């Protein structure tokens, strides 16, 4: 009920006027499903009875849904994708750009995310929305200098907050988005690297020696080890994470698989 009230409040804040049933609207916020919960009341039905029939619901859901959700494939000819709420990403960016941008960096760094999985398996696995670069949290004060031509922001669902040169990295922030000429190019993640070990962000007791946590591709590009990257992805498996697991897991060494099985 509270979630439904929040949905209506968001619609009202966007100026929605309910004058025509199923007519055009400024914003439409629905409760599609809540785990395995079933509700059947006059003003609230969960799961939403029509979500599988609407391409404008299915397509955005496909980007964020847990892999356990069976998202159907529908005709999208009548759907227009308006892009990201916060602007577009440069989809041409690759790990080779990270190597160029990080030239001269004095400290550990690595390609992270889905690109790290591809550097491990040595082939293309899927399309990518962005490029993620991991650095040591202790080196955060040098990030502005390294990316002098970019504007850096802390992302959130509510608003983008500018991270200005000279400002300390807040303790509760673990990433920034980098924008140049109005286009997002990459993300920078701050990893807890100390005493020769990389500490897993969600549980500092989970660690790997840096030489195991950061590997190098055949081209010499540093990347986050697959067992650590898959551990991050295991928390909420989306379609793209499922593809990454399917590509990387068969190639894990016995030691990598054993480490991942301890924490997954």
**pLDDT confidence of residue 240:** 85
Residue-wise over 156-183: b if at least 16 C-beta within 10 A, else e? eeeebeebeeeeebeeebebbbbbeeee
Q: How far apart are the first and last CA of the chain?
A: 33
Report whether 248 contacts 240 (CB < 8 A): no
Tokens representing 53 are 């029939």
Global pTM?
Answer: 0.78
* Interval 163-202: pLDDT, tens: 999 999 999 999 999 999 999 999 999 999 999 999 998 8
Q: The dihedral of CA 59, 74, 124, 249: what is its sign? A: positive
**Parallel, antiparallel or unpaired: strands 183-194 and 132-136:** parallel
Q: To which H or E segment does residue 239 belong?
A: helix 239-248
Q: Which residues of the chain have pLDDT under 70?
A: 67, 83-85, 157-158
* Interval 24-42: pLDDT, tens: 778 888 888 888 899 999 8
**pLDDT confidence of residue 26:** 80
The Cα 86–Cα 59 span in angstroms is: 18
**pLDDT confidence of residue 25:** 78
CA atoms within 13 A on the CB side of 186: 28
């Amino acid at each position: 009920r509270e979630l439904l009230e929040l949905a209506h409040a968001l619609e009202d804040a966007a100026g929605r006027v309910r004058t025509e049933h199923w007519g055009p609207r400024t914003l439409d916020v629905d409760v599609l499903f809540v785990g395995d919960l079933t509700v059947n009341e006059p003003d609230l039905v969960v799961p939403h009875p029509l979500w599988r029939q609407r391409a404008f619901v299915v397509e955005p859901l496909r980007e964020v849904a847990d892999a356990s959700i069976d998202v159907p494939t529908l005709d999208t000819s009548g759907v227009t994708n308006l892009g990201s709420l916060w602007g577009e990403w440069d989809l041409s960016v690759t790990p080779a750009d990270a190597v160029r941008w990080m030239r001269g960096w004095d400290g550990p760094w690595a390609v992270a995310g889905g690109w790290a999985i591809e550097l491990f398996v040595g082939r293309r696995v899927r399309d990518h929305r962005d490029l993620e670069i991991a650095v040591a949290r202790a080196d955060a004060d040098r990030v502005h200098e390294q990316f002098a031509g970019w504007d850096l922001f802390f992302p959130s669902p509510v608003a983008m907050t500018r991270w200005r040169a000279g400002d300390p990295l807040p303790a509760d922030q673990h990433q920034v988005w980098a924008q140049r000429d109005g286009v997002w190019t990459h993300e920078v993640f701050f990893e807890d690297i100390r005493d020769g070990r990389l500490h897993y962000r969600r549980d500092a007791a989970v660690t790997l020696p840096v030489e195991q946590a950061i590997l190098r591709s055949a081209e010499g590009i540093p990347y986050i080890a697959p067992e650590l990257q898959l551990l991050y992805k295991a928390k909420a498996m989306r379609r793209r994470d499922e593809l990454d697991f399917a590509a990387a897991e068969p190639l894990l060494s016995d030691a990598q698989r054993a480490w991942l099985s301890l924490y997954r």
